[in-house]
Amino acid sequence: MKKLFVFVLFLTWLLLMIVYIRAGETPFLSLNELSSLGKLELTQAPNLQYKEKFSGNFVTKHSNLNTILIRFEGILNADRSGFNFRLREDGKEDWYHSAHYDVPITGFSPGGYFAFDFPKITDSAQRSYIFEVETDIKLPGVVAAVSTNYPAFITRSSFTISELLSNGKLLSNFATDKFTTMLGEDEFLMNLLIFSLPLVFYLLFLIFGFNYLFPTIFVVLAIVADVFFLHKVYDFLWIAVMFAWLLTAFKFVIDSRVSIIFSLFFLWMTYIFQLIERRELTNKTQVWVYVFLTLFVFQKIYELKRRVVVKVLAQDYFKGLVISMYNYLVFVYLLTKGRYRAAAISLDYLLRVGASSLLTTEKISLPLNHAFAIGVASLHTTEQILRKVGLWLQILIVSMIRLIPLLFLWLVASKVRGYWAAYQNFYPSFQDDLFFNRTGVYLTALYILAVISIIILSLLFRHIRMSLIACVVIFATIQLGDLVFRKTTDFSRVVLWKVRGNETAEPWVDVFIDGRNLNEAPFIGRVFVNGVEQRVMGWSKNEVIFRTDPNITTSGRLEVVTSDGRKSNLLDFKYRGNR
């Protein structure tokens, strides 16, 4: 039965990976090659206007080239909007393909790719090509913006199953390139890991699942990784944790109230993160509140329907968890202190008692005696193994303790550098004094307090306890530093700093406005002078360009309104035209 369940979990993992690959942006029977922005020739990077052209060049190593995907920050839709695209081989004058491509009515998300498909080039391998794109979007000003992120464009070669099966060498090269490409994608590796979690957990459960300590550690580690380290939301991670917890709960008949206690704990953490204005952490912990609330409902229904007699009550669960963790810490302590005989005895006790009892109710007391050990004769071998492991563990722990001050200094330095850079990026000139007076003085006090705390901890505690508490202090310090920065700054507002060309503005000239948080093209807003909208020629998050028009431009108060409706401050503008 266990082998069958392992096979089912493996098959589930395999099917999920196949579905993920097939649902991805890259078709399963296609190979992509990525190219940087340097391969594109832009006349006014990255903004494009009506009938403006840009070109690119590349060398493909695969045959069957049939698509070029160019990454845009967005495209403004119009009644008749699109691109004129053509492609030719480098060194030839005739264009292999030339066509007009309409922008979909539904559009696409910023940072997405616009696909230029063309007839398949079967002999494209190791050949150089040039393509040219011309905007055909009949709107004034900026109509599209090429993304500056990597990759700027992708060349794609597509194959069929019959082509691959009929050519062994082609199939081998395709499989190698496909596998190598997928392993180079962080998102693929992350999904590979997350989809395998139920299988990995069950295998570990078969080995270490003699009590509920190891399954609980697995669940806790998965939740910590999701809340603090994963920037994206992975729905299957919730399913994996629910599977692990239900398997553990049903195996050891754990009280359903344990699930509701976990749910209340995450609810409390949600309030804490909300208090320190960590929205992303708040959203993550809210999910786990509902997950454990759902688990509680499942367990409670099962208990009532089956009239289950709970073997591990809530108070016993947490008491046994604390005692088990304490006993394992004692084992690690003995190992790091070089007391290998005592460590061997404690390990023998932990494994035997853990395998024979759901609950660990007895703490290991020091000094140890041989009464704990059932198989004393085998302790010599265990002691020799632990002696080798212990030496490396001692080196590792001592190194970690010595690296804690360096870790703290590195984290503080990187955070302060980020805070300082935010000031310099927001303001048009250096603001060292403003940074120190508004934010730096509070950060200095916070970091001094953290250093004093770590010094006191080093005097009160030693080795493992000092390291653990110091890590908590460092984490709390970093979080409080972010809170101080957010409370002492307001860098989210739309602000205009100056108008370049303000004193020489004449008819039909471009005027440059320097500002911050203006949004990136194509999310362009509007420019007003005395309440009259002007013609926008260029747009980026720090600069707006508009063209004066003698019919509508006058001297007066200049204002910018972003695409999401936020208004900037007002600046004086002087127009020397015919009005």
Report, as an integer, the average pLDDT of 457-466: 68
Answer with the residue of higher pLDDT: 355 or 191: 191
pLDDT tens string 51-98: 777 888 888 888 889 998 888 765 554 445 678 889 988 888 888 888
* pLDDT of the residue at 237: 92
Q: How confident is the model at residue 257 (pLDDT cuts 50, 70, 90)?
A: very high
Exposed, middle or buried by CB within 10 Å (0-12, 13-18, 19+), for 240? buried
Cα–Cα distance, 176 to 495 (Å, whole number)? 52
CA distances from 534 to 504, 517, 553, 557 (A): 17, 20, 7, 13
- Taking the mean position of all CA atoms in its chain, how far away is CA 294? 26
Could you name the CATH architecture of 32-158?
Sandwich (2.60)
Nearest C-alpha neighbor of 557 from the set 494, 499, 493, 491: 499
- Return the CATH fold of 495-573: Immunoglobulin-like (2.60.40)
- Residue ranges per structural domain of the chain: 2-24+169-183, 32-158, 196-312, 402-488, 495-573
Tens-digit pLDDT profile for residues 170-222: 888 888 888 887 777 778 888 889 999 999 888 888 877 667 777 888 888 89
The secondary structure element, H or E, covering residue 437 is none
Q: Give the model confidence (pLDDT) of 416-455 as tens digits.
A: 888 888 887 788 776 777 788 888 888 888 888 888 887 7
Q: How many residues does this entry show for the chain?
A: 579
- Taking residues 125-142, report their average pLDDT: 76
DSSP string, 491-557: TTS-EEEEEETSSSB-TT-EEEEEEES---TTS--EEEETTEE-EEEEE-SSEEEEE--TTT--SEE
Query: Which pLDDT value is given to residue 111?
Result: 55
pLDDT at 356 (0 to 100): 45
Name, in order, each residue with C-beta under 8 angstroms of 89's C-beta and a sequence gap of 6 or more.
96, 127, 128, 129, 130
Q: Is the pLDDT of residue 551 over 80?
A: yes
pLDDT at 291 over 90: yes
Identical topology for domains 32-158 and 495-573: no
DSSP for 201-228, written as a single string = HHHHHHHHTTSSHHHHHHHHHHHHIIII
